[in-house]
Amino acid sequence: MDLTAPPASRLSLYLDLIRWNRPAGWLLLLWPTLAALWLAAGGFPGWHLLTVFTLGTVLMRSAGCCINDVADREFDRHVKRTAQRPVTRGAVSVREALAVGAVLALLAFGLVLTTNAVTIAWSFAALAVALVYPYAKRHVSMPQAVLGVAFSFGIPMAYAAVRGEIPPLAWGLLLGNLFWVLAYDTEYAMVDRDDDLRIGIQTSAITLGRHDVSGVMAFYAVYLASWGGMGLSQGLGAVYLAGLAVAAGQAAWHHRLIRERSRDGCFRAFRANHWLGFAVFAGIALSYL
């Protein structure tokens, strides 16, 4: 690793490290978080909280990439899709990647400090889950469930920031959103299944085996049904149901993409999931206009 490289070159490596050119990752976290903000506030939550949670989502997803790449560097070198990641190929050292991740996490924590004591307290639990996930695939047959908790933790934190407490509805939304994460991250795992089997990583795609496609569709169904029921319980109506219908249509399209289990089809489905999440959020936000 050349630490004497020009600053612009190192910045480029850091941007690659945090997947800056692939915003789909942080959008997958952002839409359910913003949906929870709107639900908790009964409409637009205000510019302060919108800014805090949007920037915080981007920062924490970026920090998570740093942690994940350090944890998976020995595995990633054996997977064609990940072999050229900066840490894996040695362009960024482990210490350097962890330092970048720590700075990003501290910046996110600085944003949390502008909210309230309940949100600050729960931010430590959110960080703990984010730190545990990269190692879950070594011990858990469906590590995507751990990712589901990590990627859904913005929901209870949004309620904490708006209301100063976390009601049961927030945990219900988190549980429902976990099934969406299971759906799209199983699609992601289907891309690397052959490599993961060879190197001994556990994933939901491997655990589900020949039931992977039907499992993904069942996960989508549970997510949409649970969020549909909880949204209706909060007084959302036809506009919200229209958003869910658009999301369901996208899920049906994903079935066409993944049913042959081709790498390109599964990866395309995974990358398009942020539009499904946006449809659900749009249904919520427009319902409050």
Count Cα atoms within 13 angstroms, Cβ side, for 202.
Answer: 15
- Helix count and strand count (H, E) for the chain: 15, 0
Q: In whole angstroms, what is the distance from residue 238 CA to residue 251 CA?
A: 20
The answer, yes or no, to whether residue 240 has pLDDT greater than 70, is yes
- Out of 17-31, 41-55, 123-137, 255-269, pick the least confident: 123-137
Residue type, 147: L
pLDDT given at position 68: 85
| Residue-range domains of the chain with CATH | 7-287 (1.10.357.140)
Mean pLDDT of 179-194: 94
Which of 84-93, 113-122, 165-174, 258-267 shows the lowest mean pLDDT across its residues? 84-93
Is 225 or 93 the better-scoring residue by pLDDT? 225
Using only C-alpha atoms, the chain has a radius of gyration, in whole angstroms, of 19
Q: Once rounded to an integer, what is the mean pLDDT over residues 34-55?
A: 97
Distances (CA, A) of 289 to 9, 69, 152, 225: 46, 41, 25, 23
pLDDT of residue 1: 45
- For 69-107, what is each residue's pLDDT tens digit? 888 787 777 777 777 888 888 888 999 999 999 999 999
Comparison of pLDDT for 287 and 83, the residue scoring more: 287
Q: What is the pLDDT of residues 4-38, one digit of tens each?
A: 455 658 888 888 899 888 888 899 999 999 999 99
Note the maximum CA span of the chain: 59
How far is Cα 123 from Cα 187, in angstroms, rounded to an integer?
Answer: 29
Under the banding of pLDDT at 50, 70 and 90, the label for residue 143 is: confident
Is residue 244's pLDDT more than 80? yes
Q: What is the 3-state secondary structure of 242-253?
A: HHHHHHHHHHHH
**Alpha-helix residue ranges (DSSP H) falling in 42-91:** 47-71, 73-76
User: Cα angle at 155 between 153 and 156, to 5 degrees?
Assistant: 80
Neighbouring CB atoms inside 10 A of 160's CB total: 24
- How far apart, in whole angstroms, are the C-alpha atoms of residue 49 and residue 54? 8
Predicted pLDDT of residue 20: 87
* Stronger pLDDT, 30 or 200, i.e. the higher one: 30
Inform me whether the pLDDT recorded for 184 exceeds 90.
Answer: yes
**Average model confidence (pLDDT) for the chain?**
92
What's the whole-number mean pLDDT along residues 192-207?
86
